[in-house]
Amino acid sequence: MRDIAIIGGGASGIYAALLIADRNPNLKITIFEKEQKLGKKLCATGNGHCNLLNKDYSPANFNHTLLVENAMSRFSFDDLLNVFSSWGIPLIDRDGLFYPANYHAPSFANYLSALLEKRGVEVRLGVSVKDYSRSGDGYLLKTNEGEFSFGKLIIATGGKSTPKLGSDGSMFDVLRRHGYEISELQSGLAPIRVKEKLPKALDGERHAAKVRVFVNNICYYEEAGEILFKKDGLSGIVMFNVNSFILRNGFGEETKIRLDLFPGEDVSAYLRGDKEQCLLTEPLYEEVAAQAKKNGVPMDIAVHELEYTFKASYGFENSQVTIGGLIDSEVSMNLESKREPHVFFTGECLNVDGFCGGFNLTWALLSALLVAEQITR
Protein backbone atom coordinates (compact mmCIF):
# COMPACT_ATOMS: atom_id res chain seq x y z
CA MET A 1 0.00 0.00 0.00
CA ARG A 2 1.31 3.41 -0.98
CA ASP A 3 0.69 6.35 1.32
CA ILE A 4 -1.20 9.00 -0.66
CA ALA A 5 -3.23 8.98 -3.88
CA ILE A 6 -3.95 12.33 -5.51
CA ILE A 7 -6.80 12.11 -7.99
CA GLY A 8 -6.29 14.88 -10.54
CA GLY A 9 -3.11 16.34 -11.96
CA GLY A 10 -4.12 19.97 -12.20
CA ALA A 11 -2.69 22.89 -10.24
CA SER A 12 -4.00 21.96 -6.78
CA GLY A 13 -3.08 18.29 -7.15
CA ILE A 14 0.45 19.11 -8.29
CA TYR A 15 0.86 21.70 -5.54
CA ALA A 16 -0.36 19.25 -2.89
CA ALA A 17 2.09 16.56 -4.05
CA LEU A 18 5.05 18.94 -3.96
CA LEU A 19 4.14 20.42 -0.58
CA ILE A 20 3.66 17.01 1.03
CA ALA A 21 6.90 15.67 -0.48
CA ASP A 22 8.78 18.72 0.80
CA ARG A 23 7.45 18.19 4.31
CA ASN A 24 7.93 14.42 4.39
CA PRO A 25 10.14 12.97 1.63
CA ASN A 26 9.49 9.44 2.90
CA LEU A 27 5.83 9.43 1.94
CA LYS A 28 4.97 7.53 -1.24
CA ILE A 29 2.71 9.69 -3.39
CA THR A 30 0.95 8.86 -6.65
CA ILE A 31 -0.91 11.30 -8.90
CA PHE A 32 -3.64 9.82 -11.12
CA GLU A 33 -4.44 12.01 -14.15
CA LYS A 34 -6.91 10.85 -16.79
CA GLU A 35 -5.38 13.10 -19.45
CA GLN A 36 -2.08 12.31 -21.15
CA LYS A 37 -0.44 15.43 -19.72
CA LEU A 38 -0.20 16.99 -16.28
CA GLY A 39 -1.47 20.53 -15.84
CA LYS A 40 -3.27 20.69 -19.17
CA LYS A 41 -5.64 23.41 -17.98
CA LEU A 42 -2.80 25.17 -16.17
CA CYS A 43 -1.03 25.61 -19.52
CA ALA A 44 -3.93 27.71 -20.80
CA THR A 45 -4.42 30.00 -17.81
CA GLY A 46 -3.77 33.73 -17.94
CA ASN A 47 -3.89 33.67 -21.75
CA GLY A 48 -1.00 31.23 -21.68
CA HIS A 49 1.01 33.34 -19.23
CA CYS A 50 -0.21 31.73 -15.97
CA ASN A 51 -1.45 34.38 -13.53
CA LEU A 52 -0.55 32.58 -10.29
CA LEU A 53 -1.39 35.13 -7.60
CA ASN A 54 -3.04 38.50 -7.07
CA LYS A 55 -1.81 41.04 -4.52
CA ASP A 56 -5.45 41.91 -3.76
CA TYR A 57 -5.40 39.04 -1.28
CA SER A 58 -8.89 39.13 0.15
CA PRO A 59 -11.90 36.80 0.60
CA ALA A 60 -13.97 39.50 -1.14
CA ASN A 61 -12.65 38.23 -4.48
CA PHE A 62 -14.22 34.82 -3.88
CA ASN A 63 -17.75 33.62 -3.20
CA HIS A 64 -17.35 34.62 0.47
CA THR A 65 -16.87 31.10 1.72
CA LEU A 66 -15.68 30.40 5.25
CA LEU A 67 -13.10 28.04 3.77
CA VAL A 68 -11.32 30.93 2.04
CA GLU A 69 -11.44 33.16 5.10
CA ASN A 70 -9.96 30.38 7.23
CA ALA A 71 -7.21 29.63 4.73
CA MET A 72 -6.24 33.27 4.38
CA SER A 73 -6.10 33.64 8.17
CA ARG A 74 -3.63 30.73 8.24
CA PHE A 75 -1.40 31.69 5.31
CA SER A 76 -0.35 35.22 4.39
CA PHE A 77 0.38 36.44 0.89
CA ASP A 78 4.08 36.31 1.74
CA ASP A 79 3.65 32.65 2.66
CA LEU A 80 2.40 31.98 -0.86
CA LEU A 81 5.29 33.88 -2.42
CA ASN A 82 7.69 31.87 -0.28
CA VAL A 83 6.29 28.60 -1.61
CA PHE A 84 7.25 29.52 -5.17
CA SER A 85 10.60 30.80 -3.97
CA SER A 86 11.26 27.47 -2.22
CA TRP A 87 10.60 25.69 -5.53
CA GLY A 88 13.08 27.93 -7.32
CA ILE A 89 10.39 29.75 -9.30
CA PRO A 90 10.97 33.50 -9.72
CA LEU A 91 7.82 35.57 -10.14
CA ILE A 92 7.20 38.90 -11.83
CA ASP A 93 4.72 41.48 -10.54
CA ARG A 94 2.64 43.17 -13.23
CA ASP A 95 0.37 45.68 -11.48
CA GLY A 96 -0.31 43.29 -8.62
CA LEU A 97 -0.70 40.22 -10.82
CA PHE A 98 2.06 37.66 -10.30
CA TYR A 99 3.32 35.42 -13.11
CA PRO A 100 6.23 33.03 -13.58
CA ALA A 101 9.21 35.16 -14.60
CA ASN A 102 9.32 33.57 -18.05
CA TYR A 103 5.65 34.57 -18.54
CA HIS A 104 4.94 31.20 -20.14
CA ALA A 105 2.39 28.79 -18.65
CA PRO A 106 3.44 25.60 -20.51
CA SER A 107 7.05 26.03 -19.34
CA PHE A 108 5.82 26.55 -15.79
CA ALA A 109 3.77 23.33 -15.97
CA ASN A 110 6.77 21.42 -17.35
CA TYR A 111 8.93 22.76 -14.53
CA LEU A 112 6.43 21.54 -11.93
CA SER A 113 6.46 18.11 -13.59
CA ALA A 114 10.24 18.03 -13.29
CA LEU A 115 9.98 18.92 -9.59
CA LEU A 116 7.59 16.01 -9.05
CA GLU A 117 10.00 13.61 -10.70
CA LYS A 118 12.89 14.95 -8.65
CA ARG A 119 10.93 14.33 -5.44
CA GLY A 120 10.00 10.80 -6.45
CA VAL A 121 6.28 11.44 -6.91
CA GLU A 122 4.77 8.75 -9.14
CA VAL A 123 2.62 10.12 -11.96
CA ARG A 124 0.19 7.83 -13.76
CA LEU A 125 -1.20 9.48 -16.91
CA GLY A 126 -4.25 8.30 -18.81
CA VAL A 127 -5.67 6.65 -15.69
CA SER A 128 -9.28 7.42 -14.77
CA VAL A 129 -10.49 6.77 -11.23
CA LYS A 130 -13.98 5.28 -11.48
CA ASP A 131 -14.66 4.87 -7.77
CA TYR A 132 -13.03 4.12 -4.45
CA SER A 133 -13.97 2.11 -1.36
CA ARG A 134 -12.82 1.68 2.22
CA SER A 135 -10.24 -1.09 2.59
CA GLY A 136 -8.85 -1.72 6.07
CA ASP A 137 -7.22 1.48 7.27
CA GLY A 138 -7.06 2.89 3.76
CA TYR A 139 -8.83 2.99 0.42
CA LEU A 140 -9.01 0.90 -2.72
CA LEU A 141 -9.06 2.91 -5.95
CA LYS A 142 -10.89 1.39 -8.91
CA THR A 143 -9.48 2.64 -12.21
CA ASN A 144 -9.46 1.80 -15.90
CA GLU A 145 -6.08 0.14 -15.26
CA GLY A 146 -6.99 -1.94 -12.23
CA GLU A 147 -7.16 -1.42 -8.48
CA PHE A 148 -4.66 0.37 -6.21
CA SER A 149 -4.44 0.61 -2.41
CA PHE A 150 -3.60 3.80 -0.52
CA GLY A 151 -3.70 5.06 3.03
CA LYS A 152 -5.05 8.52 2.19
CA LEU A 153 -6.86 10.16 -0.75
CA ILE A 154 -6.73 13.72 -2.03
CA ILE A 155 -9.44 14.54 -4.55
CA ALA A 156 -8.25 17.37 -6.80
CA THR A 157 -10.31 16.78 -9.93
CA GLY A 158 -11.54 20.33 -10.54
CA GLY A 159 -15.01 21.25 -11.76
CA LYS A 160 -16.75 21.04 -15.16
CA SER A 161 -15.29 24.09 -16.89
CA THR A 162 -13.40 23.69 -20.17
CA PRO A 163 -13.91 19.91 -20.46
CA LYS A 164 -11.56 19.72 -23.45
CA LEU A 165 -8.75 20.47 -20.99
CA GLY A 166 -9.79 17.68 -18.64
CA SER A 167 -12.40 19.13 -16.26
CA ASP A 168 -15.52 17.12 -17.09
CA GLY A 169 -17.11 16.92 -13.63
CA SER A 170 -17.20 13.10 -13.62
CA MET A 171 -15.86 12.86 -10.05
CA PHE A 172 -18.97 14.64 -8.76
CA ASP A 173 -21.04 11.56 -9.71
CA VAL A 174 -18.65 9.40 -7.67
CA LEU A 175 -18.93 11.74 -4.69
CA ARG A 176 -22.72 11.72 -4.87
CA ARG A 177 -22.65 7.92 -4.68
CA HIS A 178 -20.64 8.30 -1.48
CA GLY A 179 -23.35 10.52 -0.01
CA TYR A 180 -21.72 13.92 -0.48
CA GLU A 181 -23.84 16.99 -1.18
CA ILE A 182 -22.84 18.87 -4.33
CA SER A 183 -24.27 22.34 -4.90
CA GLU A 184 -25.56 23.31 -8.34
CA LEU A 185 -22.77 23.47 -10.92
CA GLN A 186 -22.74 26.56 -13.14
CA SER A 187 -20.33 27.98 -15.72
CA GLY A 188 -18.47 30.89 -14.13
CA LEU A 189 -16.06 33.37 -15.73
CA ALA A 190 -17.68 33.02 -19.15
CA PRO A 191 -19.13 35.34 -21.80
CA ILE A 192 -22.77 36.35 -21.42
CA ARG A 193 -25.60 35.88 -23.86
CA VAL A 194 -28.12 38.73 -23.92
CA LYS A 195 -31.78 38.79 -24.92
CA GLU A 196 -31.38 41.69 -27.32
CA LYS A 197 -30.57 41.01 -30.96
CA LEU A 198 -27.19 42.59 -31.67
CA PRO A 199 -26.27 43.91 -35.14
CA LYS A 200 -23.92 41.61 -37.07
CA ALA A 201 -21.53 44.51 -37.62
CA LEU A 202 -21.04 44.82 -33.86
CA ASP A 203 -19.52 41.33 -33.56
CA GLY A 204 -15.83 41.67 -32.67
CA GLU A 205 -15.97 45.33 -31.65
CA ARG A 206 -14.06 46.31 -28.49
CA HIS A 207 -14.48 49.32 -26.21
CA ALA A 208 -13.55 50.21 -22.64
CA ALA A 209 -16.57 50.72 -20.39
CA LYS A 210 -17.82 50.93 -16.85
CA VAL A 211 -20.20 48.00 -16.35
CA ARG A 212 -23.02 48.02 -13.82
CA VAL A 213 -25.41 45.21 -12.92
CA PHE A 214 -29.00 46.15 -12.03
CA VAL A 215 -31.89 44.12 -10.64
CA ASN A 216 -35.16 46.03 -10.15
CA ASN A 217 -33.22 49.26 -10.80
CA ILE A 218 -30.86 48.61 -7.89
CA CYS A 219 -27.16 48.47 -8.76
CA TYR A 220 -25.52 45.43 -7.17
CA TYR A 221 -22.15 45.36 -8.90
CA GLU A 222 -19.87 47.55 -10.98
CA GLU A 223 -16.46 47.20 -12.58
CA ALA A 224 -14.53 48.82 -15.41
CA GLY A 225 -12.79 47.01 -18.25
CA GLU A 226 -12.74 46.25 -21.94
CA ILE A 227 -15.91 44.90 -23.52
CA LEU A 228 -15.83 42.55 -26.49
CA PHE A 229 -19.12 42.53 -28.38
CA LYS A 230 -20.14 39.14 -29.77
CA LYS A 231 -22.88 38.20 -32.21
CA ASP A 232 -25.22 37.28 -29.36
CA GLY A 233 -23.64 38.72 -26.24
CA LEU A 234 -20.80 40.35 -24.35
CA SER A 235 -17.33 39.13 -23.44
CA GLY A 236 -14.05 40.33 -21.94
CA ILE A 237 -12.59 39.90 -18.46
CA VAL A 238 -15.00 42.35 -16.86
CA MET A 239 -17.95 40.45 -18.35
CA PHE A 240 -16.54 37.14 -17.08
CA ASN A 241 -16.67 38.59 -13.57
CA VAL A 242 -20.17 39.95 -14.17
CA ASN A 243 -21.28 36.50 -15.31
CA SER A 244 -19.95 34.90 -12.12
CA PHE A 245 -21.51 37.59 -9.95
CA ILE A 246 -24.95 37.11 -11.55
CA LEU A 247 -24.89 33.33 -11.26
CA ARG A 248 -23.49 33.26 -7.72
CA ASN A 249 -26.30 35.50 -6.52
CA GLY A 250 -29.06 33.65 -8.34
CA PHE A 251 -30.12 36.65 -10.38
CA GLY A 252 -32.38 35.76 -13.29
CA GLU A 253 -33.28 37.05 -16.68
CA GLU A 254 -34.53 40.35 -15.22
CA THR A 255 -30.89 41.34 -14.71
CA LYS A 256 -29.86 44.43 -16.66
CA ILE A 257 -26.29 45.15 -17.70
CA ARG A 258 -25.55 48.80 -18.40
CA LEU A 259 -22.44 50.01 -20.17
CA ASP A 260 -21.01 53.50 -19.78
CA LEU A 261 -18.63 53.88 -22.72
CA PHE A 262 -17.10 57.11 -21.43
CA PRO A 263 -17.48 57.14 -17.62
CA GLY A 264 -17.12 60.59 -16.12
CA GLU A 265 -16.56 62.20 -19.53
CA ASP A 266 -18.72 64.71 -21.38
CA VAL A 267 -18.47 63.59 -24.99
CA SER A 268 -21.50 65.44 -26.28
CA ALA A 269 -19.39 67.57 -28.66
CA TYR A 270 -18.19 64.42 -30.41
CA LEU A 271 -21.68 62.95 -30.82
CA ARG A 272 -23.47 65.87 -32.44
CA GLY A 273 -21.62 65.87 -35.72
CA ASP A 274 -21.12 63.29 -38.45
CA LYS A 275 -20.41 59.75 -37.32
CA GLU A 276 -17.14 59.86 -39.28
CA GLN A 277 -15.90 62.46 -36.77
CA CYS A 278 -17.14 60.50 -33.75
CA LEU A 279 -15.03 58.82 -31.09
CA LEU A 280 -16.93 55.60 -31.76
CA THR A 281 -16.45 53.09 -34.55
CA GLU A 282 -19.31 53.02 -37.04
CA PRO A 283 -20.93 49.81 -35.70
CA LEU A 284 -20.82 51.11 -32.14
CA TYR A 285 -22.09 54.52 -33.23
CA GLU A 286 -25.06 52.83 -34.89
CA GLU A 287 -25.76 50.79 -31.75
CA VAL A 288 -25.71 53.90 -29.54
CA ALA A 289 -27.94 55.72 -32.03
CA ALA A 290 -30.42 52.83 -32.08
CA GLN A 291 -30.66 52.74 -28.28
CA ALA A 292 -30.96 56.54 -28.14
CA LYS A 293 -33.89 56.40 -30.54
CA LYS A 294 -35.52 53.48 -28.75
CA ASN A 295 -35.30 55.16 -25.35
CA GLY A 296 -36.03 58.68 -26.56
CA VAL A 297 -32.80 60.18 -25.24
CA PRO A 298 -29.95 62.14 -26.90
CA MET A 299 -26.83 60.33 -28.07
CA ASP A 300 -24.73 61.91 -25.31
CA ILE A 301 -27.05 60.26 -22.74
CA ALA A 302 -27.32 56.90 -24.50
CA VAL A 303 -23.54 56.53 -24.71
CA HIS A 304 -23.48 56.32 -20.91
CA GLU A 305 -26.45 53.95 -20.64
CA LEU A 306 -26.22 51.17 -23.20
CA GLU A 307 -28.43 48.47 -21.71
CA TYR A 308 -28.65 44.73 -22.27
CA THR A 309 -30.63 41.97 -20.57
CA PHE A 310 -28.90 38.88 -19.20
CA LYS A 311 -30.06 35.66 -20.87
CA ALA A 312 -27.51 33.00 -20.00
CA SER A 313 -23.86 32.12 -19.54
CA TYR A 314 -22.07 30.73 -22.57
CA GLY A 315 -21.70 27.36 -20.86
CA PHE A 316 -18.97 25.14 -19.45
CA GLU A 317 -17.09 24.77 -22.71
CA ASN A 318 -16.39 28.52 -22.65
CA SER A 319 -15.98 29.05 -18.92
CA GLN A 320 -12.84 29.31 -16.83
CA VAL A 321 -14.15 28.17 -13.45
CA THR A 322 -17.06 26.18 -12.04
CA ILE A 323 -19.47 27.82 -9.64
CA GLY A 324 -20.66 25.22 -7.14
CA GLY A 325 -19.18 21.92 -6.01
CA LEU A 326 -18.69 20.05 -2.74
CA ILE A 327 -20.40 22.18 -0.09
CA ASP A 328 -18.45 23.63 2.83
CA SER A 329 -20.22 21.63 5.51
CA GLU A 330 -18.91 18.34 4.04
CA VAL A 331 -15.33 19.15 5.07
CA SER A 332 -13.39 20.40 8.08
CA MET A 333 -11.49 23.67 7.98
CA ASN A 334 -8.47 21.54 7.01
CA LEU A 335 -10.47 20.22 4.02
CA GLU A 336 -10.73 16.68 5.35
CA SER A 337 -13.98 14.85 4.71
CA LYS A 338 -16.41 14.64 7.61
CA ARG A 339 -17.84 11.45 6.09
CA GLU A 340 -14.71 9.47 5.32
CA PRO A 341 -11.48 9.67 7.36
CA HIS A 342 -8.26 10.47 5.48
CA VAL A 343 -10.09 11.76 2.38
CA PHE A 344 -9.20 15.36 1.49
CA PHE A 345 -10.27 17.84 -1.16
CA THR A 346 -8.40 20.66 -2.91
CA GLY A 347 -9.08 23.26 -5.56
CA GLU A 348 -12.10 23.72 -7.75
CA CYS A 349 -14.01 20.56 -6.78
CA LEU A 350 -14.94 22.46 -3.62
CA ASN A 351 -17.62 25.14 -3.71
CA VAL A 352 -15.05 27.92 -3.99
CA ASP A 353 -14.62 30.17 -6.99
CA GLY A 354 -12.88 33.49 -7.52
CA PHE A 355 -12.95 36.32 -10.01
CA CYS A 356 -10.45 36.70 -12.85
CA GLY A 357 -6.92 37.73 -11.93
CA GLY A 358 -5.17 34.70 -10.46
CA PHE A 359 -7.65 34.13 -7.63
CA ASN A 360 -8.58 30.58 -8.61
CA LEU A 361 -4.94 29.54 -8.80
CA THR A 362 -4.47 31.26 -5.44
CA TRP A 363 -7.17 28.97 -4.03
CA ALA A 364 -5.44 25.97 -5.64
CA LEU A 365 -2.32 26.77 -3.62
CA LEU A 366 -4.14 27.73 -0.42
CA SER A 367 -6.18 24.53 -0.38
CA ALA A 368 -3.08 22.43 -1.13
CA LEU A 369 -1.26 24.10 1.78
CA LEU A 370 -4.10 23.29 4.18
CA VAL A 371 -4.18 19.64 3.15
CA ALA A 372 -0.39 19.22 3.12
CA GLU A 373 -0.17 20.69 6.61
CA GLN A 374 -2.87 18.37 7.93
CA ILE A 375 -1.47 15.22 6.35
CA THR A 376 2.10 15.78 7.48
CA ARG A 377 1.56 17.08 11.00
Q: Which of 280, 313, 346 is the last residue of a domain?
A: 313
Q: Which of 262, 296, 313 is the last residue of a domain?
A: 313
**Burial, 62: exposed, middle or buried (Cβ in 10 Å; 0-12, 13-18, 19+)?**
buried
Closest by CA to 360, choosing from 63, 111, 25, 77, is 63
pLDDT (tens digit per residue) in 161-220: 998 888 899 999 999 999 999 999 999 999 999 999 999 999 999 999 999 999 999 999
Check residue 85 and give its pLDDT. 98
Same domain, 366 and 237: no
Same domain, 159 and 212: no
Closest by CA to 116, choosing from 6, 2, 1, 3, is 6
Same domain, 249 and 219: yes
Same domain, 143 and 259: no
Same domain, 212 and 177: no
Check residue 166 and give its pLDDT. 85
Same domain, 195 and 138: no
Q: How many domains does the chain have?
A: 2
Check residue 214 and give its pLDDT. 98
pLDDT (tens digit per residue) in 226-235: 999 999 999 9
Same domain, 278 and 141: no
Check residue 267 and give its pLDDT. 86
| Domain at 344, CATH number | 3.50.50.60
Query: What is the full per-residue pLDDT of the chain (377 aa) written as tens digits?
Result: 899 999 999 999 999 999 999 999 999 999 999 999 999 999 888 888 999 999 999 999 999 789 999 999 999 999 999 999 999 999 999 999 999 999 999 999 999 999 999 999 999 999 999 999 999 999 999 999 999 999 999 999 999 999 888 889 999 999 999 999 999 999 999 999 999 999 999 999 999 999 999 999 999 999 999 999 999 999 999 999 999 999 999 998 889 999 999 999 988 877 765 555 578 888 999 999 999 999 999 998 999 999 999 999 999 999 999 999 999 999 999 999 999 999 999 999 999 999 999 999 999 999 999 999 999 99
| Rounded distance between C-alpha atoms, residue 197 and residue 199, angstroms | 7
Neighbours of 255 (CB within 10 A): 21
Q: Which of 283, 313, 343 is the last residue of a domain?
A: 313
DSSP 8-state symbol, 103: -
| Rounded distance between C-alpha atoms, residue 18 and residue 118, angstroms | 10
Check residue 272 and give its pLDDT. 62
Same domain, 18 and 146: yes
Same domain, 202 and 98: no
DSSP 8-state symbol, 329: G
Give me the domain span that covers residue 226. Answer: 191-313
| Rounded distance between C-alpha atoms, residue 151 and residue 155, angstroms | 13
pTM: 0.95
Same domain, 164 and 111: yes
Same domain, 152 and 214: no
Same domain, 30 and 170: yes
Strand partners for 258: 212, 307
| Rounded distance between C-alpha atoms, residue 320 and residue 164, angstroms | 12
